[in-house]
Amino acid sequence: MASRRILLVDDSEILRMTTAAVLEDAGYQVIEAASLAQARASLAGELAAAVVDLHLQDGLGSSLLADLRATHPRAAFILLTGTAEPLPDFQGDLYLVKGEDPHELIARIGEAIARRSS
């Protein structure tokens, strides 16, 4: 059975809790982190995906991508942001704007995980 663990990184506690609840309702096991440092410390164990806020207090969430690829090459990397303007050099799997419909969020994350695991 494929991993259902998702690392969720967001420095907004309310957004992190809300997103974690939506993911858990969809059957995922969520590991929460409020910073890049916490996220890097949480990379142990199997992961299906990392859902990471772009702007964190200790840096850009996109900087976590290299660490994730080194330890979890088949995990999907999903970047969350408050702006629809994508990063020109983004190498992750999915770029989502915060506030998207929860059902759409779950569907798109599931699709990204399926693409990476096949």
Note the pLDDT tens digit of each residue in 60-94: 898 999 899 999 999 999 998 887 776 677 788 88
Contact 9, 53 (CB under 8 A): yes
For residue 103, name the pLDDT band (cuts at 50, 70, 90). confident
The matching CATH number, chosen from 3.30.230.70, 3.40.50.10420, 3.40.640.10, 3.40.50.2300, for 5-117 is: 3.40.50.2300
| Cβ atoms 54, 62 nearer than 8 A | yes
Q: Give CA–CA dist 80/109, Å, rounded.
A: 11
Structure-token match 């957004």, residue found: 15
Decide: pTM greater than 0.85.
yes
User: In the chain, where are the structural domains located?
Assistant: 5-117
**DSSP 8-state class, residue 34:** S
